[in-house]
C-alpha cells in the first residue's frame, strides 16, 4: 500500500493527456512494476477538461476507484488552473508539474497556496522546437518521470525509443523529434523556488 | 511460462477470443464493449483467426446470428453492453432454451434512461432469469481467465447453456493493468474442439430446432434447463481445477478474502471487490476483523456454499450495483438472504445500492459500510436494511 504512487493528469481533450498516462503506464510496466492507467470518461469533446490517472506499485494493485489523494498532479494546459481545482487532495509531500510560462506569483495564487513542490516546464517551446508542432504530452511524460523518479532518465529514454518505433512504424520521421522532446524535457523541467 | 503483459479489460477479452478462435463472431458495437469486436475484426482482417465475422445491423441480429451458427454446429461468440443486451432480449431466452452454448462478453453498463454510458450492473441483472450462466470478473485477468474457461463449461453435455462473462464497463474495460497471458497453443489445447451431439448441419441426423412447444412439454423443457443450470455448478468447479493445474490461478464459485476469521463482511461482484480488498487490508492493519465474499458465479447461484461461507459472521452487507426498483432489496441481496434463510442461518444483513450510472465507489465509501456493520454488531439493531451508498446527501430521505 505504502509503495504505491498515484498520479492525476489534467488536460484538455485532444492534447494527449490520456495517451500520456497510458505511455507512462507502459514505461513503468516495462521496468517491472504493477500499473494502472485509465482516463475518467465523460462527454469527450475537443478542448473540454479531461482527467486521467496512473497507479504504479511494486505489488499487485486491487483498488479500482478514481484517485482522490494523488502523490503527483500533472497539468498539461495552464488555462485549466482557472477552472479546475487541480490541487484537490494533492499530498503536500508530493508535487505538481505544470506546462506553463507563468510567473511564480501567478502560480502560487492559482494553486491556492499549495505548500508542496511546484515544477514548471514550457512544453510548447520544447514541442515546437523538437517536433515542429504542439504535442505537449511527450514533454509532460518526461517531466513527471523526472519529478516522481518512477524510473531513471535512461530507462525512460530506452523504453520510449522502443514504444515510438512501434507506435510510429508508419512515420519513422517523427521518432527522432519525440526522442529529442523527451531529452529536452528531462533537462528543462524546473522547480519553482 | 505465462506471458507478462499489460492490457485493458476489453483487450483481455478480445485476446481470449483470438486464442479461442471461434467459428463465428457476430456483433454490433456499443460503448463500452465496442473495442472487443473492433479488436477482433482486426484479428480477422490480419488472418490471426479463422473466424467468420458477421458485422450485423443490430444486437438482435447479432444474437440471432450466434443462435443460427451454434444450431448449425459452430462455436459462436459475441460482445455487448447495456442497451445492446436489451435489444437482444427476445433472442437471449431463445439461445438458452435451445440449449446453445454461445459465449458472450458483457461489459456492464447502465441501461438507459436517462441516457448513461457508464458502469453499473443493471444490464446483467435484467438478464439474470434468462437461463444464461453468468460469471463476474474483478479485473482484466479474471475477464480473460473466465472467457478461456467459458466454452468448457457451456458446451459440457450435462450443461449445454449459453454463458456470459461480465466485467465493469470503463472501470476495468478501459483500464490498462498487468495481466498474465497463456500461450496460444496452451489455450487451444485447454479449450478443445467443439463436438456438438446434435446439430442442424449433420446430414446423418436431420433435426428440427425450436419448433412449437405448448402445454404438453414446455414445462418439462424448462425443468431440464433448470437441471442443466444445477449441473453447471460442478462443471464450473471441474473446469476451474483443470485451469488451476495449467496456470496456478485458483477459481471457485466465489472468492473468500480474509473471510475465515472475519466478524463483518461485504458481499459484492466485479471491480468493487478489488477496492474492498484494499479496504479490508487497511482495516485488518487496525485490528478490525473485516472480510469479503466476492461472487464469481452468479448463475447458477451457489446457494448452500454462500450461506455456509457467511454463517460465522456477526453482520454482512450485500452491495448491489443495480436497483431492482421493487421497494425491496437488490438482486444479489435477495439471493444471498434467501440462500441463508433456506439454510436456516441467521446473520444480520443489510443491502446497499451503489455505483449507479458510473458513480465512483471510493475506498472511503467501502470503509463506511464496514463502520456501519461494526455499529450493527455493537447495537444489535438495523433500522433500515435497504440503503444507498454514495447517493448525494440531498437525495437521502
Tens digit of each residue's pLDDT (9 = 90 or more) over A89-127 = 999 999 999 999 999 999 999 999 899 999 999 999 999
Total-model pTM: 0.96
How confident is the model at residue B281, as a pLDDT?
98
User: Which residues of chain A are within 8 Å of residue B170 when distances are taken between CB atoms?
Assistant: 38, 41
CB atoms B275 and A37 under 8 Å: no
**Where do the domains of chain B lie, and which CATH numbers do they carry?**
3-247 (3.40.50.970), 254-395 (3.40.50.920)
Q: Compute the nearest-CA separation of B174 from chain A (Å).
A: 6
Q: What is the pLDDT of residues A152-188, one digit of tens each?
A: 999 999 999 988 888 888 888 889 999 999 999 999 9
User: Which candidate in B175, B180, B273 is best for mutational testing of the A interface (most A CBs within 10 A)?
Assistant: B175
Q: What is the CATH number of the domain that holds A47?
A: 3.40.920.10
pLDDT at A63 over 90: yes
3-state secondary structure chain B: CCEEEEECHHHHHHHHHHHHCCCEEEECCCCCCCHHHHHHHHHHHCCCCCCEEEECCCHHHHHHHHHHHHHHCCCEEEEECHHHHHHHHHHHHHHHHCCCCCEEEEEECCCCCCCCCCCCCHHHHHCCCCCCEEEECCCHHHHHHHHHHHHHHHCCCCCCCCEEEEEECCCCCCCEEEEEECCHHHHHHHHCCCCCCCCCCCCCCCCCCCCCCCCCCHHHHHHHHHHHHHHHHHHHHHHHHHHHHHHCCCCCCEEEECCCCCCEEEEECCCHHHHHHHHHHHHHHCCCCEEEEEECEEECCCHHHHHHHHCCCCEEEEEECCCCCCCCCCHHHHHHHHHHHHCCCCCCEEEEEECHHHCCCCHHHHHHHHHHHHHHHHHCCCCCCEEEECCCHHHCC
Instruction: Write out pLDDT tens, residues A15-50.
Output: 888 999 999 999 999 999 999 999 987 766 788 899
Do A64 and B274 lie within an 8 Å CB cutoff?
Answer: yes
| B295-315: average pLDDT | 98
The verdict on B171 touching A (C-beta cutoff 8 Å) is: yes
Report ipTM for this prediction. Answer: 0.94
- The whole-number average pLDDT for the span B300-325 is 98
Give the whole-number percent of chain B exceeding pLDDT 90.
98
CA of B255 to nearest chain A CA: how many angstroms apart? 14
Does the structure show a pLDDT above 50 at A1?
no
Between residues B3 and A193, which one has the greater pLDDT?
B3
Substitution target in B4, B176, B281 with the highest count of A β-carbons within 10 Å is: B176
Express each pLDDT in B246-271 by its tens digit: 999 999 999 999 999 999 999 999 99
For residue A65, the distance in angstroms to the closest alpha carbon of chain B comes to: 6
- Judged by a CB distance cut-off of 8 A, whether residue B19 touches chain A is no
Q: What is the pLDDT of residue A2?
A: 55
The predicted structure's pLDDT at residue A44? 65
pLDDT band per the 50, 70, 90 thresholds, residue B26:
very high
Q: Is A37's CB within 8 Å of B176's CB?
A: yes
Q: Which of A65, A162, A166 to mutate to test the interface with B (most CBs of B within 10 A)?
A: A65
Q: How many CB pairs under 8 A join A and B?
A: 60
The pLDDT of residue B1 is above 80: no
pLDDT the model gives residue B260: 97
The domain containing residue A20 runs over which residues? 5-191
pLDDT at B397: 65
**Average pLDDT value for residue range B226-242:** 98
Whole-number average pLDDT of chain B: 97
Q: How many separate domains does chain A show?
A: 1
Task: Give B117-166 pLDDT, tens digit per residue.
Answer: 999 999 999 999 999 999 999 999 999 999 999 999 999 999 999 999 99
Res. A76: pLDDT tops 90: yes
Amino acid at each position: 500500500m505504502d509503495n504505491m504512487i498515484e498520479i492525476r493528469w489534467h488536460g484538455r481533450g485532444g492534447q494527449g493527456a490520456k495517451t500520456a498516462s497510458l505511455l507512462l503506464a507502459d514505461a513503468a510496466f516495462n521496468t517491472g512494476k504493477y500499473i494502472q492507467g485509465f482516463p475518467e470518461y465523460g462527454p469527450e469533446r475537443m478542448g473540454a477538461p479531461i482527467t486521467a490517472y496512473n497507479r504504479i506499485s511494486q505489488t499487485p494493485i486491487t483498488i479500482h476507484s478514481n484517485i482522490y489523494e494523488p502523490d503527483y498532479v500533472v497539468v498539461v494546459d495552464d488555462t485549466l488552473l482557472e477552472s479546475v481545482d487541480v490541487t484537490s487532495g494533492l499530498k503536500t509531500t508530493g508535487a505538481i508539474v505544470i506546462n506553463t510560462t507563468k510567473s511564480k506569483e501567478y502560480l502560487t495564487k492559482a494553486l491556492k497556496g499549495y505548500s508542496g513542490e511546484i515544477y514548471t516546464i514550457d512544453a510548447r517551446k520544447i514541442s515546437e522546437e523538437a517536433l515542429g508542432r504542439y504535442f505537449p504530452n511527450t514533454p509532460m511524460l518526461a517531466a513527471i518521470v523526472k519529478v516522481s523518479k518512477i524510473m531513471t532518465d535512461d530507462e525512460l529514454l530506452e523504453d520510449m525509443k522502443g514504444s515510438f518505433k512501434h507506435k510510429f512504424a508508419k512515420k519513422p520521421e517523427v521518432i527522432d523529434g519525440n526522442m529529442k522532446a523527451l531529452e529536452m524535457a528531462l533537462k528543462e523541467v524546473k522547480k519553482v523556488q | 511460462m505465462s506471458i507478462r503483459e499489460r492490457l485493458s479489460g476489453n483487450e483481455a477479452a478480445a485476446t481470449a477470443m483470438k486464442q479461442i478462435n471461434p467459428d463465428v463472431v457476430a456483433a454490433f458495437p456499443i460503448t463500452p464493449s465496442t473495442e472487443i469486436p473492433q479488436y477482433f475484426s482486426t484479428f480477422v482482417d490480419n488472418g490471426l483467426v479463422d473466424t467468420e465475422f458477421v458485422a450485423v445491423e443490430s444486437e438482435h441480429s447479432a444474437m440471432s446470428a450466434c443462435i443460427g451458427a451454434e444450431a448449425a454446429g459452430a462455436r459462436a461468440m459475441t460482445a455487448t453492453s447495456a442497451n445492446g443486451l436489451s435489444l437482444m432480449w427476445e433472442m437471449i431466452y431463445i439461445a438458452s432454451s435451445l440449449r446453445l452454448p454461445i459465449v458472450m462478453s458483457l461489459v456492464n453498463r447502465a441501461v438507459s434512461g436517462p441516457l448513461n454510458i457508464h458502469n453499473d450492473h443493471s444490464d446483467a441483472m435484467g438478464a439474470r432469469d434468462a437461463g444464461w450462466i453468468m460469471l463476474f470478473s474483478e479485473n482484466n485477468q479474471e475477464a480473460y481467465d473466465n472467457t478461456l474457461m467459458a466454452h468448457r463449461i457451456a458446451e459440457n453435455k450435462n450443461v449445454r447453456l449459453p454463458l456470459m462473462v461480465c466485467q465493469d464497463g470503463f472501470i476495468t474495460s478501459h483500464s490498462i493493468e498487468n495481466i498474465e497471458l497463456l500461450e496460444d497453443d496452451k489455450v487451444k489445447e485447454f479449450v478443445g474442439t467443439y463436438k456438438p451431439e446434435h446439430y442442424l448441419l449433420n446430414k446423418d441426423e436431420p433435426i428440427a430446432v425450436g419448433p412449437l412447444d405448448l402445454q404438453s412439454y414446455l414445462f418439462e423443457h424448462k425443468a431440464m434447463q433448470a437441471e442443466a443450470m444445477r449441473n453447471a455448478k460442478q462443471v464450473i468447479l471441474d473446469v476451474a481445477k483443470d485451469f488451476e493445474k495449467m496456470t496456478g490461478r485458483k477459481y471457485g464459485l466465489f472468492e473468500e478474502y480474509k473471510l475465515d476469521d472475519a466478524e463483518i463482511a461485504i458481499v459484492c461482484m466485479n471491480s468493487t471487490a478489488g477496492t474492498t480488498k484494499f479496504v479490508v487490508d487497511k482495516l485488518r492493519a487496525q485490528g478490525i476483523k473485516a472480510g469479503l465474499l466476492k461472487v464469481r458465479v452468479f448463475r447458477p447461484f451457489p446457494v448452500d456454499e454462500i450461506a455456509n461461507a457467511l454463517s460465522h459472521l456477526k453482520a454482512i452487507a450485500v452491495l448491489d450495483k443495480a436497483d431492482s426498483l421493487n421497494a425491496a432489496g437488490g438482486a444479489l441481496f435477495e439471493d444471498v438472504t434467501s440462500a441463508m434463510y433456506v439454510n436456516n442461518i441467521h446473520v444480520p444483513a443489510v443491502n446497499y445500492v451503489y455505483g449507479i450510472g458510473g458513480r465512483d465507489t471510493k475506498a472511503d465509501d467501502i470503509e463506511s459500510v464496514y463502520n456501519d456493520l461494526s455499529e450493527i454488531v455493537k447495537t444489535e439493531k438495523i433500522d433500515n436494511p435497504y440503503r444507498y451508498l454514495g447517493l448525494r446527501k440531498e437525495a437521502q430521505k
